[in-house]
Amino acid sequence: MGAFASYAPMALSALQTGQQISSNRADQKNRAAETEANRQVDIAQINASEAERARERAEELRIRQARLRARQGAAGLQSGGTGSASAVLAGLEKQALSETHADADAAARKRAEVNRQASWRETSLLRSLQDDTVARLNAWFARRDGW
């Protein structure tokens, strides 16, 4: 009976340490899932704002082109004027395309930053979990060995 009495506290201590480690792992998984959900929301917001800006830009281009064509028709310009108007229309399209590329690049940078931050948070959570697990195991072995 004496041997059991000396092993029982050690077994109970090991069980408690294992439960704490398991609880910390579950908490870390929940925080990682929350980080991933936040990342997905941020990416969706970036994509939605990019799509909205693209729609606004397309509508603005359409309106500008319609106004230019209306002015051209109202003035009764000859074919020489029509060529100039076509150049202006092409310039408007080129400007809109340039703005689209600039917005796409900005959105890509934002997505990369969101992904980088989420990756850092996940790595940080993993490291803290590992550090906590190692610390708990070291403490348990130190108690067991009587240090």
Q: For residue range 38-91, what is the model confidence (pLDDT) as tens digits?
A: 999 999 999 999 999 989 988 988 888 888 877 776 665 544 455 566 777 778
Among 61, 85, 63, 62, which Cα is nearest to 72's? Answer: 85
Cβ–Cβ < 8 Å for 111, 95: no
What are the tokens at 77? 């310009």
* Higher local confidence (pLDDT), 13 or 104: 104
Name the residue type at position 53. R
Q: What pLDDT is attached to residue 76? A: 57
The Cα 46–Cα 108 span in angstroms is: 9
